[in-house]
Amino acid sequence: MELIFLGTSAGVPTRTRNVTAILLNLQHPTQAGLWLFDCGEGTQHQMLRTPFHPGKLDKIFITHLHGDHLFGLPGLLCSRSMAGNVQPLTIYGPKGIKEFVDTTLRLSGSWTDYPLVVEEIQAGVVMDDGLRKVTAYALNHPVECFGYRIEEYDKPGALNAKALISMGVPSGPLFQKLKNGETVTLNDGRVLNGKDFLAPAEAGKKLAIFGDTAPCPSALELARDVDLMVHEATLEQSMEEKANSHGHSSSRQAAQLALDAKASRLIITHLSSRYDETGSRRLLAECQRIFPQTLLAEDFHIVPL
């Protein structure tokens, strides 16, 4: 998996940062996918500067209905249709997201020529495709807001085909059964347990993508033990009270959460437009004093998991 940051500014765009949008490229060999988390104004323009096309999107997750996370959605949906794309698309978001999509399409005389499903979610598991699941956690913001925890299931270990061949086991269906961990009986009566021929399972990746939030108890569960945590750092530590009063977090609070949750890495994003490059680096330094494994998101940064 890899993350591609399309927008990293809070509230309004700046000359160097667009408003919030993050792509997740699943990069799975047999079940690839491209997911979008939030869709601030201009997101489709940002995608034009990447190798990724809106037609490849199959899921969009909206954290909340504030404009800097949502106003790019109608344009992206319509452009996707005008390009002749027929791949289904599912949108997940809080109550009101369906009304927003339906109303903007209706009032603008627009439509989609592809299957579009809009699911209004509550806290809990919102999807599970057998390879990974996505769980929504309610956060602390003036409007209903969620963070999303993406967890891959552990991948089965590789089959020791060389050992099986040396034992005279014919390749084909028997290999597949053994790879699935099943027990098989050979023609000569030998019984083989697939688990004896599998390498240890590979742990699946865990990722937490936060919406806007002031500190809250559910944040710890959302981020616990993740490989990568993406969290807002709207304001610096000295403005913490102001940040919290508007449902946001400071740099210090983002870093402390990553430390408490035992996350492997933290990426801070959603920086106030008051911060230029120097100011942004100051927020990063505040985080790194508490949690050294912190990175600062920039538009078009690609971060592998």
DSSP 191-220: EEEGGGGBPPPBPPPEEEE--S-B--HHHH
Q: Work out the mean pLDDT of the chain and round it to a whole number.
A: 94
pLDDT, position 85: 83
CA distance 231 to 253: 10
Domain ranges within the chain, ordered by starting residue: 2-155+202-304, 161-197
Q: Is 301 exposed, middle or buried (0-12, 13-18, 19+ CB in 10 A)?
A: middle
Share of the chain above pLDDT 90, in %: 78
pLDDT, position 28: 77
pLDDT, position 170: 79
pLDDT, position 157: 78
Residue pLDDT, tens place only, 260-299: 999 999 999 999 999 999 999 999 999 999 999 999 999 9
Q: Which residues are catalytic?
A: 68
| Beta strands in the chain, from DSSP E residues, in sequence order | 2-7, 9-10, 21-25, 34-37, 57-61, 89-93, 116-120, 124-128, 132-138, 146-152, 183-185, 191-193, 206-209, 228-232, 266-269, 271-272, 294-296, 302-304
pLDDT, position 72: 97
Q: Return the CATH number of the domain spanning residue range 2-155+202-304.
A: 3.60.15.10
pLDDT band at 179 (very low <50, low <70, confident <90, very high): confident
pLDDT score of 109 more than 90? yes
pLDDT, position 224: 98
